[in-house]
Amino acid sequence: QVQLVESGGGSVQAGGSLRLSCASSGYTSSSYSMAWFRQAPGKEREGVAAIDGDGSTNYADSVKGRFTISKDNAKNTLYLQMNSLKPEDTAMYYCASDPRWLLVLLPGYYDYWGQGTQVTVSS
């Protein structure tokens, strides 16, 4: 079975950077699309970035140019490099995967989820 574990979250000042990681097991990442989502208290879960089995990517407009999604298929690990962080980026960040090679940023498309890692950006 697929298991996903996020790490790398923390607290940072506005303008700072963080790199999130998602370690996966139970499947080969090259055969799955993977994505990052985030959810702030009282708000709906929103898509951040997605990457398919070939490495094609899709980003939410709010993070385009600041965040970079990537993966290491040999390590079955997904990454999210977050630069120029803003207070509005504060949220719980979740890793997700699905066997279909899709680049949609909608949570309903993804079957497998991690437990999340908290990112807090202070002004």
The pLDDT tens digits of the residues spanning 59-76 come to: 999 999 999 999 998 898
DSSP of 40-99, one letter per residue? Answer: -TTS--EEEEEE-TT--EEE-TTTTTTEEEEEEGGGTEEEEEE-S--GGG-EEEEEEEES
Task: Give pLDDT, residue 51.
Answer: 95
Tell me how far apart the alpha carbons of residues 28 and 87 are, in angstroms, rounded to a whole number: 35
Task: Give pLDDT, residue 29.
Answer: 64
The pLDDT of residue 30 is above 80: no
As a whole number, mean pLDDT of residues 10-39 equals: 91
The pLDDT of residue 28 is above 70: no
